[in-house]
Amino acid sequence: MIGKIYDKAFAELGKRYRKVRHDRNMVQEDVLEFGFSVRHFQQIEAGRPHSLTTLFRLAEMSKVEPSELLKGLKLPPKNVSDAVLRQRKRQRVKRRLQNPS
């Protein structure tokens, strides 16, 4: 559930990566030299969640600072994330109480 609240942010990042790649006249095959498979890069551009390491590699490929890729990105309010984490914790406790080992 927590991943879903960030779906829009990853979708926006994917659009930014695609724009930078197009602005640099790169095709998807050009990402191979930066350690990405074409399929993985397609998934990233489509908005699949990825790691901070991937963000750094994408920034290097794009020749921009990572902060430029994240600038203005709309993230959910902190209290939404906290609420989701609390809900997950309650669910784990409930499952443990229902199925004691």
Give CA separation, 66 vs 50, 53, 61, 62, 92, in Å. 14, 10, 11, 9, 35
Mean pLDDT for all residues in the chain:
85
For the whole model, what pTM was predicted? 0.68
Task: Map out the domains of the chain with their CATH numbers.
Answer: 3-73 (1.10.260.40)
pLDDT at position 79:
66
Give dist(CA 81, CA 76) in Å, integer: 7
Look at residues 29, 49, 51, 46 and name the one whose alpha carbon lies nearest to residue 38: 29
Q: What is the mean pLDDT of residues 35-60?
A: 92
Give dist(CA 81, CA 6) in Å, integer: 9
Per-residue pLDDT tens digits for 57-99: 999 988 889 999 999 988 776 666 677 778 888 888 888 888 8
